[in-house]
Structure 1
């Protein structure tokens, strides 16, 4: 049953909404396509919702990217049934850019309040608990890339097409940039930096590291904040992996680190790039399961189009030290930043990934490496995309899956990642991916990009 202490805390949290002028509370979760879904309840009704949740259909677990409902997963094979969406206590935020509304992440539970196997947040919470039982703690942070165009431009033409990374690019969206920074601060989303990125009309901000569940919550809140600030300034944001053909795509690079007793295992050792034995094993575990992990972290047809050699998106399964072409980029500790800064960046990760499932898969793979005391191969500091097939084979470097069938083969063939998601959720994820593939079977690549452009 739903923990009454949790429900009581959420009720207490709602007590001051009326005097603040909040009309409604939006309860948000992310589906198996990485798309945020929500229910909004009147502020005056929130006390009851905090205790009992709000009803939603369980079929959201088998919505495909374009809202088609899949019935190929037998336990969710009919339109019957109901679950409850329960706000998470302690996570409510009055939205700085939408002051009439508050925002809170939701947890999906069964109709009687018991755990529901398709709840993506629950999958991540289980992996965090598993790590804690092993004496390990994780930090995670996202680099979020997005594209800005004019709100009335459905083709996604960039709002700015000049030199990358300079102040002129931010000047082109000056009012938006100012509001975004103020709203992120007001919404309690700490960031490290914000800049104009490489692609035309592309921008990036980095979320400060946090525990994995908080990091996933903040990822959803950050995208809500960005969309609202863009709308306020006549702009439209897209987080789609590819927005326009032939351009660089939007990655949501996922940074993680693992610690024991407060000591970062990715620094202070005599392993590769200063990793400890357990830190190196964590990296090796990620590499061992990378094909299955990426099936979760970059799962859409748009994701597959983005993963191209030479675009710094990690098209091949290998690791390197500060190698931006590597799927796994180790960012080592430095005297300036200190040992706590060391982390592993997963490049093939984007907005099509459910953030809770993405982190659950990453943690499960890394924990598996630690439990099995794996040793990673030597780092690669070149671009294997420029190598011959023979040379790549000699180094054990393979291309990451480039089709839905290859991705599902990697996922379904990996017991560790399936167990992290749970068998029910894994199969629901499978039918969603197959539905997406069937929907796009007769589309050319440019049309696929167009159809995914405004989903995220």
Structure 2
């Protein structure tokens, strides 16, 4: 029997696939592709190319300044980090094309997360997405995987312009009330529709505590997708608000009297199909799950310096305000910065996870997840033991009671945050020396900006950055 001489079908080169995707998007009415990343202040930054340049951008990237890692929250460049101490240099911003989404709320544009690459085509040491990818790979090498999800709180204002002097609440509560949602009914309907179309699965949407605050919960997934979805959700929420004549703010604190916006970060760690946050050990944890939680607790001050890093973040971390102001863990305790949620008969073992409360929009989502994973993995590697949980509001305790339980306040100044970073070799190793240096420089620059301003002016100056 003669062998067939028919060749197998050729596999299209990436450039052909990107050109084909661009053509399909153009035919659907897309005119531009926006590539987005978050800087070291948690602020989304972007570059947009015409749709016919998508293949070129995917292959070669778009040139951006190498100084974005030392851009502070107010668009000032600090040269305090020695490795980025001159205005010279360029990197390439490359869209992650397999995460490309046509935005339902902005149908003329597609959206993609970006990577920052050097001239050699490799990620720069300041590429936050690659820092998270390294921690995911570290877990995989140990036979582990992780799942993560966000609860996003935000303020919704009727003021759709750039006037900061007054905030006009879009609703006035009560919390969890259908009446509150009724007042923003058109926005809520559009938001759920747009998030679904943009590929962001939602667990729930409701009115949160405080005037004009809403919360949307994003379904848990792998860490890189979780960070990408968080970034995409922000864009989608802003667009839906604008379409309804409203304006959204994710700022840690929107006004001095308000309780602020928390972005609760949930994580769980798995070995094959077994959730290690569920087990037959004390409090319903497996031994490895307990060590993961112990790793988070050990490095919590340094973690919070990354996950709640801004000057307004420090204002929000108040005792007895469900903000997680002290370093301890609890089972279901909403005052705990590490709130363990065990499995239940109704929900099963897949539900078990730990929630990080000192977390907000001024954190880069990729770095936030990276330091959480890195600290937890170190706990497992070292088989750390977990102390007993605390089920009370430690903010109501005396100093003597807290000292007896070794419960300490999380950093309340920028200097304390930077000291916590310096004191944690594990978190510094996750970030790497280059990004740690840039991150520290940006935090100092923001602190200097705030020094001669009142807390009201500081909060107003951050209100619409997120």
Partner SS for 1:431: helix
Once the two structures are superposed, the pairs formed by residues 66-81 of structure 1 within 5 Å of their partners are: 66-81=74-89
Q: Which residue among 7, 17, 20 is the counterpart of 2:25?
A: 17
Deviation per residue, 1:273-292 (Å, 9 max, x gap): 21000000000000000000
Partner SS for 2:313: helix
Once the two structures are superposed, the pairs formed by residues 30-429 of structure 1 within 5 Å of their partners are: 30-150=38-158, 151-152=160-161, 154=164, 155-271=166-282, 273-429=283-439
| Contact in 2 for aligned 1:368/1:416 (Cα 8 Å) | yes
Runs of 5+ in structure 1 lacking a partner? none
Deviation per residue, 1:98-139 (Å, 9 max, x gap): 000000000000023122100000100000000000011000
Match of 2:7 in 1: none
Q: Distance in 2 between matches of 1:187 and 1:33?
A: 25
CA positional deviation for 1:246:
1.7
| Contact in 1 for aligned 2:174/2:207 (Cα 8 Å) | no
Q: Distance in 1 between matches of 2:377 and 2:359?
A: 19
CA positional deviation for 1:10:
4.5
Deviation per residue, 1:73-111 (Å, 9 max, x gap): 111111111100001131000000000000000000002
Q: Distance in 2 between matches of 1:373 and 1:439?
A: 42
| Contact in 1 for aligned 2:173/2:209 (Cα 8 Å) | no
Deviation per residue, 1:176-229 (Å, 9 max, x gap): 111000000000000100000011000000000010000000000000000000
CA separation of 1:442 and 1:7: change in aligned 2, threshold 3 A: farther
Alpha-carbon RMSD across the aligned residues, in angstroms, is 1.2
Q: Distance in 1 between matches of 2:60 and 2:19?
A: 11
Higher Rg of the two aligned structures: 2
Deviation per residue, 1:392-412 (Å, 9 max, x gap): 011110000000000000012
Deviation per residue, 1:41-71 (Å, 9 max, x gap): 0001111111100000010110000000010
Q: 398-407 vs 163-172, which deviates more?
A: 163-172
Q: Distance in 2 between matches of 1:410 and 1:420?
A: 14
CA positional deviation for 1:12:
4.8
Partner SS for 2:368: helix
Runs of 5+ in structure 2 lacking a partner? 1-11
How many residues are treated as equivalent by the alignment? 452
Partner SS for 1:162: coil
CA positional deviation for 1:156:
2.5
Q: Distance in 2 between matches of 1:182 and 1:252?
A: 22
Match of 1:445 in 2: 455
CA positional deviation for 1:7:
6.3
Give TM-score, length-normalised by structure 2.
Answer: 0.95
Q: Distance in 2 between matches of 1:5 and 1:206?
A: 38
Match of 2:3 in 1: none
Partner SS for 1:16: helix
| Contact in 2 for aligned 1:138/1:212 (Cα 8 Å) | yes
CA positional deviation for 1:269:
2.2
Match of 2:8 in 1: none
CA positional deviation for 1:372:
0.6
Stretches of 4+ moved more than 4 A in 1? Answer: 4-12
Q: Distance in 1 between matches of 2:34 and 2:54?
A: 10
CA separation of 1:390 and 1:450: change in aligned 2, threshold 3 A: same
Deviation per residue, 1:357-392 (Å, 9 max, x gap): 000000000001000101111000000000011110
Partner SS for 1:47: helix
Give TM-score, length-normalised by structure 1.
Answer: 0.97
Q: Distance in 2 between matches of 1:63 and 1:314?
A: 28
Partner SS for 1:26: strand
